[in-house]
Amino acid sequence: MSDSKPSYLAHHFDHLEQQKQSATLGIWLFLITEVMFFGGLFLGYIVYRGLYPEAWHTGSEKLNVILGAINTVVLIFSSLTMALAVHGAQTGSRKKTANFLLATIILGSIFLGIKAIEYHAKFFPTTDYNLIPGANFSYPAAYADQMQLFFSFYFTMTGMHAIHMVIGIGILIWLYVKALQGTYHENYYNPVEVTGLYWHFVDIVWIFLFPLLYLIGRH
Amino acid sequence: MKHHIVSVKTYLAIFLVLMVLTALTVYVAYIDFGHGLLNDLIAMTIAVVKAMCVLVIFMHLKYSAKLLWLIAGSSVVWLIVMVGLTLTDYRSREWMESQLHRAIEWQANPPAEQPAHPGLH
Amino acid sequence: MSSATDINAGTTAKNYLNEKITVSSWLLTLDHKRIAVLYLVSLLAFFLIGGLAALVFRIELMTPEADILRSETYNKFFTTHGIVMIFFFLIPSIPAVLGNFLVPVMIGARDFAFPKINLASWYVFMFGGVLALVATIAGGVETGWTFYTPYSTMYANSAVILAVCGAFIAGFSSIMTGLNFIVTIHKMRAPGLTWFRLPLFIWAMYATAIVILLGTPVVAITLVMIFVERAFGFGIFDPSLGGDPVLFQHLFWFYSHPAVYIMILPAMGVVSELISCFSRRRLYGYKVIVFSSLAIAVIGFFVWGHHMFVSSQSTFAGMTFSFLTFFVAVPTALKMLNWIMTLHKGSVSLSSPMLYAFGFLGLFVIGGLTGLFLSTLATDIHLHDTYFVVAHFHYVMVGGGVMGFLGGLHFWWPKITGKTYPEGWAIFAAIVIFIGFNLTFFPQFQLGVHGMPRRYHVYPEEFQVLHIASSTGAMVLGFGYLVMAVYLIGSLITGKPAGKNPWNARGLEWETDSPPPTHNFHETPVVRHPVYAYEYASETSDEPDVTSEKNHV
């Protein structure tokens, strides 16, 4: 343990490169667990959609495609700002890092806000049917029960995605505070990069959720 | 030691591509290609291309060690195994049931001529 | 190793155990060795709880009638036994205790890549474990450890949600451990320690970590689905809405079959170390064992449907899974042959850890071969959900997993604690455990073949003799564990200092002090020899040969 080690190099690593590579490898391994986590939901989706195509198409039509599309744009935009925050850290621009982190936080919150509007519309329906799965579910169709399955998956999948967003925003806020203090610079930005990878992954999940939930059966 | 730094221009270009693809996927969802499967295929192709854009550029996979490609790839392979083997069950249920009914029928009313084996065809 | 490290040999130098001794220095430690000890203590507590639950229903099963348990209470007891033993003992046992302690030491690192995540994994594990225990106290769970729907989601009147949350949370702890293993093995090996110089225990941990990372999240999302169905009334597996309970089984077994390999691969790693050390030779077919571990990790994911032959899974899928299942036997058999080839022409010594390794070999062969009966589609129709299955998986998990754990615990006990245990008592306990185990579970094969279904507490009278034999065996087994607990705890107080390398074994863990200093090595070791280099003299031990040697360096 020589004194020449910088404070941001943990004691058990030999050099910064080893620390950085470990962090990147770790987050990628974590992301494959996330792929499998959402994979279980996608599997359920595929099985049931194969069994009950009409119910799923009708269910999909009941979602608000405009809000869904806006959210897709917002989330991809937030991925861009996240990438730029990492870029800022890589090039040693502390101000840029902080500002783009803030932008990502704001965009992520807008996404959640729009999601909340969508949920709200489902929970307090203005129509004469109710699409919240459970005892009160009602829809005038022979396959109403199977539509309940669709909405169970809709809420579980988007809910799980939203939880990931909330966690991501929490980490981003912490990073933002640290970034304002100037913690991250061209020699040390692992936390920003690792969070970035997580954030992009959450974006990818939505890239698949959007067509699978909102766009089937529109034709 | 130096890591490749992706230029801001590349990020913006990829962002534009993602936007165009998002518009495209919404647009084609409203076109009836005659067969629903075709719509799904197009939507999923677009989604995979978008995901690859994010993975390769935003997530720097292009400039990363082969190990990370292996890890990213293995998760896809495992998803395919999980979905594929589960669908082996669901996709063969009807077929198996029809075979069962044939066998039961055959047992109840054996055909008059030399019986063919009632097994799987 | 350079002579610098020999200075502290056998002295009471500062080590990871005595450097700080406050409670907070333990509860907030980032030292992987202390975390391993925390895991060891908590896992043994869970083992005790799970074992006592088993003892209670084994006593109940001594007579054909219901004596001390009603059917529902009986269900709660075997569910407690299953949940605690699988999620809170077997799955973490070797990775979280021996793996946590040994992986950094064996590869010459100062710690895991992510020490904070490692500590967090213990807290997460304890939180999950406490939730599961609260569930058993607050009403109990009677679904069996498998939480099959629709029983778990619609009919069970017990604390299913709590138990599901406990298992879900414990999964995170597994994932954290597995992630740490892979990153550490990739990035933190000592200079000269190439991939094919890694001890097989490390390879086993690596393969296990792959299974953990790819499997655990799937059971996590499955438990989430149960949670939303039971708590919010969402229909996911609800048959009345068109949902399919068999889908639950697919998702559940996609993890829970590979979970068997999470329990057995580490034990195989331990056994490889033991057999090499106590045969005094390099393992025969080192690379074959390496690749068979990886092959088991991969093929293990292709076979889950063999748990579902008599669910409404299609016969075609049944045949596919049955066919694929046979392939898992191939790498396992290869390992077995390599171990036996290592023993052949080796100078074998029957020390207590080696007895557990032999126990593993014999019992795991029985467990594995009966697995082939069960993976045969037609035979399984008869044997499904009988005591034959119970006996089979106990031979694999206890005969394999626990024997491996105990063998490893004895082997590395001098390294972990710095003390030697009484060898005579250890041999006695190993023999008692072996006899008790066989007496408990061998009769269950016979019960199963004769048609005794599992999970019933009343049974026809003609089964009573075999049930009494089994229950007697359980008590013998419990006695064996008790003896072991007594002498191991006693060794902490009365045990002699172990010295660096009491078994004259090879590997980096034997080149540092016992117990190791906080940062494992006084200076980063450099590896110059291939693994298991018994042809070279060890630098840390100058005895001509090993095991009975009482006076250490």
User: Each residue of A63-73: pLDDT tens digit?
Assistant: 999 999 999 99
Taking residues C98-123, report their average pLDDT. Answer: 96
Query: If you count them, how many residues does chain C have?
Result: 553
- Provide the residue type at C304 as one letter: W
Average pLDDT, chain C: 92
Distance of alpha carbon A165 from alpha carbon A138, whole angstroms = 30
Distance of alpha carbon C168 from alpha carbon C124, whole angstroms = 10
User: Cβ separation of C247 and A44 shorter than 8 Å?
Assistant: yes
Give the pLDDT band (50/70/90) at residue C548: very low
pLDDT for A123 equals 92
Taking residues C423-446, report their average pLDDT. Answer: 97
Q: Using the predicted structure, report yes or no on whether residue C9 has a pLDDT greater than 90.
A: no
Distance of alpha carbon C192 from alpha carbon C337, whole angstroms = 30
pLDDT for C370 equals 95
Residues of B in contact with A219 (CB under 8 A): 29-33, 36, 39
Distance of alpha carbon A166 from alpha carbon A147, whole angstroms = 28
pLDDT for C129 equals 96
SS3 helix, strand, coil % of chain C, rounded to 5?
70, 0, 30
Q: Using the predicted structure, report yes or no on whether residue A100 has a pLDDT greater than 50.
A: yes
Taking residues C470-481, report their average pLDDT. Answer: 97
Contact A82/C at CB under 8 A: no
Q: C280: which DSSP letter?
A: T
Q: Using the predicted structure, report yes or no on whether residue A57 has a pLDDT greater than 50.
A: yes
Nearest to A25 by CA among C179, C178, B56, C189: C179
* B and C: number of Cβ contacts within 8 A: 42
Residues of A in contact with C228 (CB under 8 A): 152, 155-156
- Provide the residue type at C350 as one letter: L
Q: Using the predicted structure, report yes or no on whether residue C8 has a pLDDT greater than 90.
A: no
Summarize pLDDT for A150-209 with one digit per residue, the tens.
999 999 999 999 999 999 999 999 999 999 998 999 999 999 999 999 999 999 999 999
Strand, helix or coil for residue C510: helix
CB distance C455 to C390 below 8 Å: no
Distance of alpha carbon C540 from alpha carbon C502, whole angstroms = 10
Q: Using the predicted structure, report yes or no on whether residue C553 has a pLDDT greater than 90.
A: no
pLDDT for C27 equals 94
User: Cβ separation of B82 and C320 shorter than 8 Å?
Assistant: no
Taking residues C256-269, report their average pLDDT. Answer: 96
Q: Using the predicted structure, report yes or no on whether residue C541 has a pLDDT greater than 70.
A: no
Q: CA gyration radius for chain A? A: 21
pLDDT for A36 equals 96
Distance of alpha carbon C207 from alpha carbon C209, whole angstroms = 5
Strand, helix or coil for residue C386: strand
How is residue A147 written in tokens?
């539509």
Residue of chain C whose alpha carbon sits nearest to that of B99: C315
Q: Using the predicted structure, report yes or no on whether residue B120 has a pLDDT greater than 70.
A: no
Distance of alpha carbon A132 from alpha carbon A193, whole angstroms = 38
pLDDT for B117 equals 61
Contact B26/A at CB under 8 A: yes
Q: Using the predicted structure, report yes or no on whether residue C111 has a pLDDT greater than 70.
A: yes
- % of chain C residues with pLDDT over 70: 95
Distance of alpha carbon B56 from alpha carbon B73, whole angstroms = 12
Taking residues C278-306, report their average pLDDT. Answer: 95
Q: Using the predicted structure, report yes or no on whether residue B15 has a pLDDT greater than 80.
A: yes
pLDDT for C2 equals 39
Strand, helix or coil for residue B32: coil
How is residue C482 written in tokens?
């008790």
Contact A64/B at CB under 8 A: no
Helices and strands per DSSP (H, E), number in chain A: 6, 0
pLDDT for B116 equals 59
pLDDT for C29 equals 94
pLDDT for C4 equals 40
pLDDT for B113 equals 65
pLDDT for B2 equals 53
Taking residues C34-44, report their average pLDDT. Answer: 97
pLDDT for C544 equals 45
CB distance A23 to A194 below 8 Å: yes
Phi/psi at A135 (5° precision): -65, -30
pLDDT for B119 equals 57
Q: Using the predicted structure, report yes or no on whether residue C5 has a pLDDT greater than 50.
A: no
Phi/psi at C419 (5° precision): -120, 150
Distance of alpha carbon A88 from alpha carbon C348, whole angstroms = 62
Strand, helix or coil for residue C497: strand
pLDDT for C3 equals 40
Distance of alpha carbon C502 from alpha carbon C419, whole angstroms = 10
Taking residues C174-185, report their average pLDDT. Answer: 97
Distance of alpha carbon C407 from alpha carbon C274, whole angstroms = 8
Residues of C in contact with A39 (CB under 8 A): 217-218, 221
Distance of alpha carbon C317 from alpha carbon C300, whole angstroms = 16
Contact A183/B at CB under 8 A: no
C344-349 long-range CB contacts below 8 Å, 24 or more apart? C344/C284, C345/C281, C346/C275, C346/C279, C346/C280, C346/C281, C347/C279, C347/C280, C347/C281, C348/C278, C348/C279, C349/C278, C349/C280, C349/C546, C349/C547, C349/C548
For an interface test with B, which of C314, C319, C322, C325 has the most B Cβ atoms less than 10 Å from its Cβ?
C314
Phi/psi at A188 (5° precision): -145, 105
Q: Using the predicted structure, report yes or no on whether residue C352 has a pLDDT greater than 70.
A: yes
Q: Using the predicted structure, report yes or no on whether residue C550 has a pLDDT greater than 80.
A: no
pLDDT for B115 equals 55
pLDDT for B118 equals 58
Give the pLDDT band (50/70/90) at residue C21: confident
How many CB atoms are located within 10 Å of the residue A77 CB?
19
Neighbours, chain A (3 or more CB pairs < 8 A): B, C
